[in-house]
Structure 1
């Protein structure tokens, strides 16, 4: 079952000019379609900013933020474990598009 309804996204490779990060980092901006009953819902729209790291072929979410579109206000909510799993799978499937 799909928990997050993704309506659009972009992904970019994050350059590390000083070589201080292990592996490679990718930044995703992911638009979400949320039900009005969802506690995360905002009429202004919500998107996720996700930093996804890949090292030795293994990927994981390094950081994620929920952000209100019109105001760019960070929302103080955490995703549920199953939502994070779904998000990690999405990032694993799409990070190579930034190459």
Structure 2
């Protein structure tokens, strides 16, 4: 398991109007234990694409990255991690909407 130490949220633009709903990109800074297989000395970040479309809110894509180099880390989240990140995204996307209006 990991802890989220920092984050940023940005609403993604759809200039062609092809996609339904609103998409957000969240960049999460993670704290990972040294004995975890996800651990990287340069740090670990998580890039999440989150969709809000009516009642539907979900992660549609995510990828772990080495923080310094931005290189892709080929790992998948466990079910409990996925649920925790999904709740985090739901909360912080709503906060970002409220502050921009």
Give the TM-score, by structure 1 length. Answer: 0.93
What is the aligned length?
97
- Please report how far the alpha carbon of residue 71 of structure 1 lies from its aligned counterpart in structure 2 after TM superposition: 1.4
* 8 Å contact kept, 1:11–1:97: no
- Whole-Å separation in 2 of the counterparts to 1:78 and 1:32: 14
Give the TM-score, by structure 2 length. Answer: 0.91
The 3-state SS of whatever aligns with 1:33 is strand
User: Corresponding residue for 1:16?
Assistant: 14
Runs (5+) with no aligned partner, structure 1: none
Give runs of ≥4 in structure 1 deviating > 4 Å.
Answer: none
Runs (5+) with no aligned partner, structure 2: none
**Aligned partner of 2:61 among 53, 56, 63:** 63
1:17-42 alpha-carbon deviations (Å, 9 max, x no partner):
11111100000000000000110001
1:5-61 alpha-carbon deviations (Å, 9 max, x no partner):
010000000011111111000000000000001100011000000000000032100
Aligned-residue Cα RMSD (Å) equals 1.0
Equivalences for 1:1-99 in 2 at 5 Å?
3-99=1-97
